[in-house]
């Protein structure tokens, strides 16, 4: 069974960088079959796809966040990470990591529990 | 960007009744529309893929239909455990997008 667990600080100061890591078990981040994704959720905007990474070094980003965003993979640790720079209060959200299964129609078939990140001084 | 508009935003339903949720895409997306269920304090769970394909382990009372730009999720004989927020999602093109969600409350 695939399991994803995110980790990182729950509080980030405005203008700083939000950094989260997702640890994958039951699968491999080097798999050619899946895209490793970040999604965030807020009461106001609902679910927002942030981006995903494919085959270790092929990231795809939401254009609305692309200028501030980096998604990368640490293969030795079976982890992938999110770095969102210059954050504001609008970046406060529950952040999920998820596996995107392109072969199964382009669906998110496994999700992490989600981590609440608040941007505040 | 493909915008997905769900309706209604909220529905209060008696157990045993049928629930119908619609999702309209801002442009034609074929059948690349999927449905998720999110219960309180849980992450979303895949319910239906490709508009109408069932997912292993999901009760048969959940069904989907539609193609192009208009889609429907139907829950027959609603049960108390179906209280949740339901989201549609399109995988036709990047950026991937989700509908705003429909919250189903049990009366």
Q: Is B97's Cβ below 8 Å from some Cβ in A?
A: yes
Compute the distance between CA of residue B26 and CA of residue A83 in angstroms, rounded to an integer.
31
With 90 as the cut, is the pLDDT of residue A37 above it? Answer: yes
Nearest by CB to residue B46, choosing from A63, A107, A114, is: A107
What pLDDT, on the 0 to 100 scale, is given for residue B71? 98
pLDDT at A105: 84
Q: List beta partners, residue A103.
A: none
Q: Supply the pLDDT for residue A55.
A: 86
Predicted confidence band of residue B95 (pLDDT cuts 50, 70, 90): very high
pLDDT at A104 over 90: no
Confidence of residue B83 (pLDDT cuts 50, 70, 90): very high
* Contact criterion met (CB below 8 Å) for A61 and A50: yes
Q: What is the mean pLDDT of residues A68-74?
A: 96
Q: What percent of chain A has pLDDT over 90?
A: 88
Q: Is B60 on the interface with A (CB under 8 A)?
A: no
Q: Using an 8 Å CB-CB cutoff, list residues of chain A that contact chain B.
A: 46-49, 60, 62-64, 96, 98, 102, 104-109, 111-114
**Does the pLDDT of residue B65 top 90, yes or no?**
yes
Q: pLDDT class for B9, splitting at 50, 70, 90?
A: very high
Rounded to the nearest 10°, the torsion over CA A112, B91, B103, B6 is 160
pLDDT digits (tens, 9 = 90+) for B44-58: 999 999 999 999 999
**Option in A62, A104, A114 nearest B95 (CB):** A62
Show the tokens assigned to B45. Answer: 């769970």
Query: Would you state the structure tokens that stand for residue B60, as one six-digit string?
Result: 């048969």
**Average pLDDT value for chain A:** 95
- What distance in Å separates the CA atoms of residue A35 and residue A102, rounded to the nearest whole number? 7
């Amino acid at each position: 069974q695939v399991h994803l667990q995110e980790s990182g600080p729950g509080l980030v100061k405005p203008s700083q960088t939000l950094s989260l890591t997702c640890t994958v078990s039951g699968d491999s981040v080097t798999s050619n079959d899946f895209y490793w994704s970040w999604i965030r959720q807020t009461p106001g905007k609902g679910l927002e796809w942030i981006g995903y990474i494919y085959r270790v070094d092929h990231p795809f980003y939401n254009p609305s966040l692309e200028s501030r965003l980096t998604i990368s993979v640490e293969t030795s640790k079976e982890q992938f990470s999110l770095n969102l720079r210059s954050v504001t209060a609008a970046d406060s959200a529950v952040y999920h990591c998820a596996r995107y299964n392109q072969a199964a129609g382009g669906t998110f078939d496994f999700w992490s529990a989600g981590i609440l990140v608040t941007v505040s001084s | 960007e493909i915008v997905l508009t769900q309706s209604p935003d909220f529905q209060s339903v008696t157990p045993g009744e049928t629930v119908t949720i619609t999702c309209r895409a801002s442009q034609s997306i074929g059948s690349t529309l999927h449905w998720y269920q999110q219960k309180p304090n849980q992450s979303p769970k895949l319910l239906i893929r490709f508009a109408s394909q069932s997912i292993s382990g999901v009760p048969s009372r959940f069904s989907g239909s539609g193609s192009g730009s208009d889609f429907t999720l139907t829950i027959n004989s609603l049960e108390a455990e179906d209280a949740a927020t339901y989201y549609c999602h399109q995988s036709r093109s990047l950026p991937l997008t989700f509908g705003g969600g429909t919250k189903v409350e049990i009366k």
